[in-house]
């Protein structure tokens, strides 16, 4: 039979363990590292367009299109890390039939705006020349006329690891 003193000591250990677990939990949470996916379907766009993640998470781009695309950081707007990114995302035609992939980990909270430099540029009149759906940027002087399209871009919001 356990002595009263030893039982008290054992209870103390349990309380101590509970306190340690309680304070350790947020540290474990911050080490949770999720992987989020952005897909290029068989057209010139990133989906989802907007993605919200936590600091420490990774974004994985997958190009399911036959054509090559790129992930280029728009450093004028970016407050998260990974500035200067300019990465080719191979299409299945140039990658042996397999989708090209690219991974980026975000350690700091902020905004990461990116685009594809093949499909988000301006012409000599500073009009977007990107292809896109019918509800893209329209020519206001010619209703029903040329569709300037929607630049191929996306935005990632990186929240703090804990809040």
Question: What is the rounded distance in angstroms from the CA atom of residue 131 to the CA atom of residue 150?
Answer: 6
Question: What is the rounded distance in angstroms from the CA atom of residue 3 to the CA atom of residue 132?
Answer: 78
- Of 57 and 67, CB closest to Cu ion: 67
Is 116 one of the binding residues for Cu ion (CB under 5 A)? yes
Task: Tell which one of 152, 155, 158, 161 touches Cu ion (CB under 5 A).
Answer: 152
Binding segment (CB under 5 A) for Cu ion, from list 10-18, 48-56, 68-76, 154-162: 68-76
- Of 54 and 119, CB closest to Cu ion: 119
The dihedral over CA atoms of 24, 26, 27, 32, expressed in degrees to the nearest 10, equals: 130
Give Cβ neighbours of residue 98 (< 8 Å, ≥ 6 apart): 92
Binding segment (CB under 5 A) for Cu ion, from list 49-57, 91-99, 122-130, 152-160: 152-160
Least separation in angstroms between residue 69's CB and Cu ion is 3
Residue 24 three-state SS: helix
First and final C-alpha spacing in the chain: 47
Question: What is the rounded distance in angstroms from the CA atom of residue 120 to the CA atom of residue 54?
Answer: 27
The one-character DSSP state at 99 is P
Task: Tell which one of 119, 130, 155, 156 touches Cu ion (CB under 5 A).
Answer: 119
With contacts defined by CB under 5 A, how many residues of the chain interact with Cu ion?
A: 5
Task: Tell which one of 38, 46, 54, 69 touches Cu ion (CB under 5 A).
Answer: 69
Least separation in angstroms between residue 120's CB and Cu ion is 7
Can you give the binding site for Cu ion, defined by CB under 5 A? Answer: 69, 116, 118-119, 152
């Amino acid at each position: 039979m356990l002595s009263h003193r030893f039982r008290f000591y054992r209870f103390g250990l349990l309380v101590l363990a509970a306190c340690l677990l309680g304070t350790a939990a947020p540290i474990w949470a911050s080490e949770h590292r999720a992987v989020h996916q952005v897909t290029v379907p068989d057209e010139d766009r990133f989906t989802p367009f907007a993605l919200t993640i936590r600091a420490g998470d990774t974004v994985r781009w997958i190009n399911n299109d036959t054509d090559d695309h790129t992930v280029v950081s728009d450093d004028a707007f970016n407050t998260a890390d990974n500035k200067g990114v300019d990465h080719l995302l191979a299409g299945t035609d140039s990658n042996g039939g397999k989708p090209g992939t690219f991974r980026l980990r975000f350690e700091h909270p902020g905004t990461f705006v990116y685009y594809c430099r093949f499909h988000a540029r301006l012409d000599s009149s500073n009009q977007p020349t990107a292809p896109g759906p019918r509800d893209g940027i329209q020519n206001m002087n010619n209703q029903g006329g040329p569709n300037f399209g929607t630049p191929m871009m996306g935005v990632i919001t990186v929240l703090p690891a804990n809040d």
